[in-house]
Amino acid sequence: MITDIESATPALCRLQLGSELRRLRLEAGLTSRQVVRKLLWSPSKLTRLETGENAAVEPSDIMALCQIYAAEPETCELLKGYAAVTKTKRDWWQSAEYRPVINPGFKAFLGLEATATGLHAYESEYVPGLLQTEEYVRVIYGRAHQGLSREDIDRMVDLRMTRQAVLQRKSPLKLTAIINEAVLYRQVGGRAVMRAQLAHIAEVASAPNVRVQVVPFKLGHHPGMNGAFMILQFRDQVTLKPIVYFENLADAWVSRHERDVERHEDAFNDLQAFAPGPQESLDMIKKAMKEL
């Protein structure tokens, strides 16, 4: 539960609200279909509420759901407080500046990343976003989104750089990043850009809330060979269970399915066990810098 609603972010309120609404529905023994039939809603409306995907939540909708679920008055007031925050505040990525370059799937991820307490990331092709330098990410976006204007590329770069503030906030995100050794030698932007990028990884990895490991070529077959993924973890793990995130050129999406999350948590745990520890991985990064 959020103890200080007035200082909470809209993203956190949406996520907590969705989890509480789903809990109340299950405790009432109701299916999603039964609820939307009672309220004459579309099925997607309830889904968006329970997954925290609505930018703003109407307090009247919360009151209607609380009535159906026979929620305690105190609980109903708390949920209406969450809804009020989503109506009166705006997350930084919802500004008009960023809106043109954020698709719905990535917008959902931004809300999750901003409220997560831990993030486990495996990357096979490039440096994880929270560890990228501005020059490195500009090259990536310039190649991957050649149809976009210079202004939109600038917005995307600025968005990526702003996201990295989660590592320095008052209660910083705990990042565990595992990267394939190939990432160290793929010259994105040329030697100078890559040297600066690798030096940046080494610098950020010195923070107590950041852990970086490298999967060496010599390991051979490993659990990350099916592709990159991220697992987000939250403080209240009873109602806010871990979520796995994927993205590609066409789309970005999250999965809350317990089986999907478990499979990727198992894969990440295996990668952590198989890969060299942080100090040996740092030595691999410094070796790659020298070879550049």
Q: What is the CATH number of the domain that holds 255?
A: 3.30.870
Identify whether 134 is part of a domain. Answer: yes
Q: Tell me the pLDDT of the chain averaged across its residues.
A: 91
pLDDT band for 148, please (50, 70, 90 cuts).
Answer: confident
Q: Report d(CA 196, CA 132) in Å as an integer.
A: 10
Q: Tell me the average pLDDT across 98-126.
A: 89
260 with 143, same domain: the answer is yes
159 with 238, same domain: the answer is yes
Q: Is the pLDDT of residue 6 over 80?
A: no
pLDDT band for 5, please (50, 70, 90 cuts).
Answer: low
195 with 160, same domain: the answer is yes
Q: What confidence score (pLDDT) does residue 109 get?
A: 87
Q: Give the range with max mean pLDDT: 148-157, 202-211, 222-231.
A: 202-211
- Give how far Cα 179 sits from Cα of 83, 176, 183, Å: 39, 10, 7
> Which percentage of the chain shows pLDDT scores above 90?
66
37 with 115, same domain: the answer is no
Identify whether 95 is part of a domain. Answer: no
35 with 74, same domain: the answer is yes
185 with 74, same domain: the answer is no
Other beta carbons within 10 Å of 251: 11
Which residue has better confidence, 275 or 221? 275
Contacts of 265 (CB under 8 A, 6+ apart): 120, 231, 242
Q: What confidence score (pLDDT) does residue 69 get?
A: 97
Identify whether 283 is part of a domain. Answer: yes
Q: What confidence score (pLDDT) does residue 102 get?
A: 87
- Helix, strand and coil content of the chain, in percent to the nearest 5, comes to 60, 10, 30
Q: What confidence score (pLDDT) does residue 52 get?
A: 85
Domain boundary among 53, 70, 90: 90
**Which residues partner with 232 through β-bridges?**
119, 243
| CB-CB contact of 222 with 267 (8 Å) | no
Domain boundary among 67, 90, 113: 90
Q: Tell me the average pLDDT across 134-139.
A: 95
223 with 244, same domain: the answer is yes
pLDDT tens profile 39-85? 999 999 999 899 888 888 999 999 999 999 999 999 999 999 999 99
Q: What confidence score (pLDDT) does residue 283 get?
A: 97
Identify whether 48 is part of a domain. Answer: yes
Q: Report d(CA 163, CA 103) in Å as an integer.
A: 16
Q: What confidence score (pLDDT) does residue 237 get?
A: 67
Domain of residue 22, CATH code: 1.10.260.40
83 with 125, same domain: the answer is no
82 with 107, same domain: the answer is no
Q: What confidence score (pLDDT) does residue 53 get?
A: 82
Which residue has better confidence, 203 or 55? 203
Domains contained in the chain, number: 2
| Range scoring the smallest mean pLDDT among 101-115, 193-207, 236-250 | 236-250
Domain housing 256: 100-291
Q: What confidence score (pLDDT) does residue 38 get?
A: 94
Other beta carbons within 10 Å of 270: 13
pLDDT band for 2, please (50, 70, 90 cuts).
Answer: low
pTM given for the model: 0.84
pLDDT band for 9, please (50, 70, 90 cuts).
Answer: confident
pLDDT tens profile 226-263? 899 999 999 876 667 899 999 877 778 888 899 999 99
Domain boundary among 55, 90, 125: 90
37 with 108, same domain: the answer is no
113 with 206, same domain: the answer is yes
174 with 125, same domain: the answer is yes
Q: What confidence score (pLDDT) does residue 222 get?
A: 87
